[in-house]
Structure 1
């Protein structure tokens, strides 16, 4: 009991002390403990604003080289445009420029505008607009814009309120080719997945010139330059007519700013030669095989970097070959390349962009999209088929090439003059009537072939001909004539026009087989337009590129863009590319040489050399027959100057080491000179001015001339070579003809004498 009392007493004392402490007042100067203050909540970080671009696509840029005329019998026209996969349209609009017929009824006449088959707007034709050019802004729904888009214009025209005839000449509206589709494109942050390769490094849906930054670790080795050349040629073959640009950076990635994204970059790195930003081996460990990896740019999440890595230079070459050949197998962020093996070697003249010359070629092999050979309407758009021929086809005095055209069409109600017009390069060839009975029709023609300027000097044709080494467009235009109605006093009869359809069968064929390959050189136009002679082997297995020993960034860019241009014309990457910085070693190889920079010292004394650029002291040989390509254009004058200012040149000559090989030199000394070369290589208009044996490039433009002796590449049968050689020497041909007649007469006379002696001996 005493223990219980003691425990209760102690509890009461503790309770009293706690209450007294709670009621004790705070003394002056005493520190009062603060209550716990909650940590401040961090303000939400604003997401970076995606970069955006304003883009304008004129109808001319979208493929319409002339204005579009909508009629009462052809009321519809459409234009296609594309959008890159890594972008989205935030705004879209149509700036429509049109001129309506002054005979139209206002308000009743109007235009309907569709985007991807969805009606966007109805544009009425007002009275004030009749006969005048009008500009109208039409809003398009950006949510409907995808990677492939179609804008369709439909014309509803009226010129009277009763008894209209659709074929009346008063029903028309002209749509200007300067009309524009305007877009505000916004970048998308896409994940790192090589399954979409070559996107985002190249997207065929884009309209601009693709720009790829090529990044090396300091001064690149020959093996790294070769790997970069193969990959650049792959992108060139994909870009085709767009062209490509390859800025070169050493040991750094391109910088990104708020106004300008960094853009796509490709980095070449081996275990022993890496850029500084890949030095972190924990993040980017050494590789044990060829590896391709896609990462985000460190400063720009909207720009991608492609890492091409390997143990050595051979691994880099294997990696880029896998990118060029095995793109369909790639997926994921990182891919390890196990093996790349070529099973069949390439054959001469098998470039994908060239029409085959060893067998008949079906139109199905020449078309670019499935509906290319199909049209509809009474006055449909023409059907175009493009054909590119090798520049060294020997077509001298040919008998024409066979063209078999099979076609089908909606038969007219009676034979009313409907026709199929066939033309080549905008020159008329033939016209075929479209009869009532419309079973599959077969039209057989023989088209002439026109040689290049250097293959035959005196050849003149008065009929359209295929141009060797150039782009040819074979055009089929269906024109249906039908009675739309008739109008008389107190009697009106109208009828709707038929929905005419026409098809060129994809089994139609053209046959270029049987022609030999033989060409007069030098001919820089063949290099500029077809990449010849290097594109003869589309994988450049017969080509050696000679580079300076220590090329700078601008020289490397010129080298990469030159290779991309050759592959753009052949359609195949330079898988077997060889490069060298040793002139003596390159000269020993049986290959065509592409020289960048300056000639080697022993080439400066070559008799075929007609131009030398040496810092500020240059000389040029000129012929007295400027602009003519004869058997020989000997130099008549030599001009030697000392001047300051950018100048570059493209020179073609025969290899002094192998008679059937050629040299094309891209000559430049200073950075400004190489920039001139790059501008010419990326400008189709300036490239068309490159011809002859020497093309001088200055800020004022391109000046080409022909000087020196010609040489020939290729081969001909002996009898054809003899006949071709004598055709340019009529005196020798006459002498040989007389000699042949005398020899034949002598042989015949001896034979007759022998027969006479034998007959007389038999009679005796």
Structure 2
């Protein structure tokens, strides 16, 4: 039976019960309903709005006469039911539209819901924004829904050109879809894990509470960090928040979604609500159990138990491995296989840099590489690269593009434009097949080879490539659709036009070295570097306070959630420390949380010291200088120290070289109070504010992020000696010219001495 309650089940039960009720003897009262049914709680119900920006539209949507359709995709969780729905549209129509002919059709899952006016009925209101509401049939909503808007516009009765510039309608980004959602009961079965804690159909940020006994130990925090990185890798672009609770569960309410929680407990340490030893006895090994919340069967708990901290970590590893053997409400974890060692730069979310990469490996969904229409949307691919990829003085990155398209009506003006990060790279002509008379033989090949196919080799400029890139292919088809002659009016219907980039197209990033000037907080904020160099974070150590509060622990978990989203792999190899690393832990990158240890506070070149009641800042390069181009070896001269006492929240992100190893880095997330941690988490969760983290020091206040470069840079990675010498000397052109002149003079002198010696020998022989 399906784990979710379906409405047709209730209808079937009522249908089966109706004959029994009709045949009951007269005067006999009906049987009392079972106690379980009578005491069933009401399902939580709440309202939720989805704007166009929530559905992936970053700007207003423009509908045209030849591109008159827009489809909105609205997935819903499997444990949700829609009881009511309404579409609220805000749009601005063209003033040239005729009200009695122009309209807007609305479809839900290919069913026509209604027709809205595309232009105001009163002529004096032409060109004014319109607001319209349309109820949607809630019975048609399922797990994945498509809402299609079709614009039918007319500007004249006769001799109309469908590509006329006056045929347009702009949908506002503030248009919303309002739903009344209701929770559904589900069985406690781990076969559906990670549901109900994470559902890929839910586009909202993941909200998952982590519950511990008071003062969680270092091993418990490490297990929670690995689990947070796993859920972060699932959430990806959605983001993830992990509220931390000690000895209590999150509250439930009837007017908001039921919360999901993960509970960590050992035989010796468990939250207070697990104190009943008869119901929750001691365990003999790692165990994972799916439970109902004590206050609501709609809210679920994931109980992770073990004899000790090692058992908790093994149970978390079993969950994160996603084994298909999970089933039932309770699972006992046995021995786990040893995980294969990760190689540098093999993060699943990064594009491989050691071989040519097929576009099929970069696709996020089927049909991503195909578009249709005379003015189709561009084909886009996301290319995430390690931030230390060294492309200096690179002549270009080879791009081998195979593409297919419908033969254009006008070959002279049909083009395929290629852009990288919204910057124009090249334009290729779309040339159709030569048309032949008579019967033409067609062949359905398995590997392309169709008419209109083309292939081109290009070089992407290396200087336009960054850590996060967007490669776009824009098909532009030229066609004649009508006539502007009044005495010869004709109308031509647009034909179906398609364009596709072949999956076998390749991008070759191999042959590049890895070398980067540090500290660089933008590399940490955008890619998790240097910790993400190994996907499992096996060369990462995290220094946390010995006793960590709920807000500080939430910051740690959300940082690991962000690292999991950037890498796409759980942090199986990470280690948490509560003392300054030594021995084998010295050769590792270090992430510090809360405050700097004494070993670093003694350094004279430290950029920032946060200590109550005063904040001591060592002034450096002004933030405005970060907006311009920086030379490779740009450094700053430390200035005077400033001490400021304030009561408002202040957090900081600091990057510096590790004193334990020259090729290792330290990133410190500095915060003291709960308000500081809340400010830090909000900044790291906001993409715009996170992008402002640059340089070696970022101060976070309520007004925003201020970044600075303090101190001299250092370099991580390796280059061949000749390239290393050339790269560092390139910043000193006068010195390079002097060295070049010296080398020429030295070579000329040596050649003169050699020729003179040869001449003397020949004269002596003669």
Question: Normalising to structure 1: TM-score of the pair?
Answer: 0.89
Answer yes or no: is the 8 Å Cα contact 2:283–2:307 preserved in 1. yes
Match of 1:454 in 2: none
Listed one character per residue, the Cα deviations across residues 663-705 of structure 1 (whole Å, up to 9, x for unaligned) are: 1111122222222222212222221111111111222222111
For the residues of structure 1 that align with 2:649 and 2:339, how far apart are their CA atoms? 47
Match of 1:680 in 2: 683
Match in the other structure for 2:619: 622
> Secondary structure of the residue that 2:483 maps to in structure 1?
strand
SS in 2 for 1:732: helix
Q: 1:729 aligns with which of 723, 728, 732?
A: 732
- Residue in structure 2 matching 1:68, options 49, 61, 82: 61
Could you report, residue by residue, the CA deviation over 1:289-323 in whole angstroms, capped at 9, with x for unpaired residues?
A: 22111010010111100011122211111111111
**Structure 1 residues 179 and 246: CA distance shift in structure 2, 3 A:** same
Aligned equivalents of 1:308, 1:81: Cα separation in 2: 33
Q: Which residue of 2 aligns with 1:499?
A: 496
Residues 708-758 of structure 1 deviation map (CA, whole Å, 9 limit, x = unaligned): 111111111111111112112223322321221122112211222233234
Shift of 1:632: 2.1
Match of 1:739 in 2: 742
Aligned residue in 1 for 2:101: 108
CA contact (8 A) 2:354 2:509 kept: yes
Tell me by how many angstroms 1:170 deviates. 2.8
**How many Å apart are 1:396 and its aligned residue?**
1.3
Matching residue of 1:22: none
Residue 102 of structure 1 deviates from its aligned partner by 2.6
Pick from 717, 723, 732: which aligns with 1:714? 717
The alignment partner of 1:249 has SS state of strand
Distance in 2 (alpha carbons) for counterparts of 1:381 and 1:631: 42
SS in 1 for 2:465: strand
Aligned counterpart for 2:74 among listed residues 78, 81, 85: 81
Q: Structure 1 residues 729 and 279 mapped into 2: Cα distance closer, same or farther (>3 Å)? A: same
Question: Aligned ranges for residues 24-423 of structure 1 at < 5 Å?
Answer: 45=38, 47-125=40-118, 126-128=120-122, 130-260=126-256, 263-423=259-419
Q: Given the superposition, is the C-alpha separation of residues 625 and 728 from structure 1 closer, same or farther in structure 2, using an over 3 Å criterion?
A: farther
Per the TM alignment, residue 426 of structure 1 is displaced from its structure 2 partner at its CA by: 1.6
Structure 2 equivalent of residue 599 of structure 1:
596
Q: What's the CA shift string for 1:450-486, capped at 9, x where partnerless?
A: 3xxxxxxxxxxxxxx112x2x2111111111111132
The 1-side partners of 2:751 and 2:75 are apart by 76
Q: Work out whether 1:443 is the aligned partner of 2:442.
A: no
What is the CA-CA distance between 1:625 and the residue it aligns to? Answer: 5.4
Q: 2:422 aligns with which of 426, 429, 432?
A: 426
2:374–2:476 contact (8 Å) kept in structure 1: yes
- 1:223 positional shift: 1.1
Give SS of 1:650's match: strand
Secondary structure of the corresponding residue to residue 725 of structure 1: helix
Q: Secondary structure at the match of 1:713?
A: strand
- Is 1:668 aligned with 2:676? no
Match of 1:9? none
Is the 1:416–1:482 Cα contact (8 Å) retained in structure 2?
no
Are 1:543 and 1:594, in contact at CA under 8 Å, matched by a contact in 2?
Answer: yes
What's the CA shift string for 1:128-147, capped at 9, x where partnerless? Answer: 36422111111111111112
Rg: which structure is higher? 1
Distance 2:210 2:486 in 1: 77
Structure 2 unmatched runs, 5+: 1-28, 434-450
Q: Does structure 1 conserve the Cα–Cα contact (< 8 Å) formed by 2:43 and 2:254? A: no
Higher mean alpha-carbon deviation, 512-521 vs 639-648, is at 639-648
1:534 to partner: Cα distance: 0.6
Alpha-carbon distance between aligned partners in 1 of 2:495 and 2:308, rounded to the nearest angstrom: 68
Distance 1:375 1:213 in 2: 41
Q: CA deviation at 1:489?
A: 4.5
- Provide the C-alpha distance between the structure 2 equivalents of 1:90 and 1:321, rounded to a whole number of angstroms: 39
2:578 is matched with which residue? 581
Quote how far apart the aligned CAs of 1:262 are: 5.5
C-alpha change, 1:161 and 1:584, in structure 2 (3 Å) is closer
2:531 equivalent among 526, 534, 552: 534
CA 1:388–1:592 in structure 2 vs 1: closer, same or farther (change >3 Å)? Answer: same
What is the Cα deviation at residue 74 of structure 1? 1.7
Contact 2:183 2:257 in 1 (8 A): no
- Encode CA deviations 1:39-82: one digit per residue, 9 max, x unaligned: x9899946422112211111122122222222222222211111
Deviation at 1:590, TM superposition (A): 1.0
CA contact (8 A) 1:540 1:575 kept: yes
User: What TM-score do you get using the length of structure 2 for normalisation?
Assistant: 0.89
Describe the SS at the equivalent of 2:241: coil
Secondary structure of the residue aligned to 2:661 is coil
Seen in structure 2, the aligned counterparts of structure 1 residues 88 and 625 have a Cα distance that, compared at 3 Å, is closer
Please state how far the C-alpha of 1:157 moved relative to its aligned partner. 2.3
Structure 1 match to 2:708: 705
Distance (Å, rounded) in 2 between the aligned partners of 1:102 and 1:539: 58
Q: 1:327: Cα distance to partner?
A: 4.3
Residues 748 and 223 (structure 1 numbering): CA distance in 2 closer, same or farther, change over 3 Å?
Answer: same
Distance 2:621 2:106 in 1: 60
Q: What is the number of residues matched between the two proteins? A: 710
Match of 2:657 among 636, 654, 657: 654
Show CA shifts across 1:367-392 (max 9, x none).
Answer: 10011111111111111111111111
Q: Say which of 638, 644, 662 aligns to 1:641.
A: 644
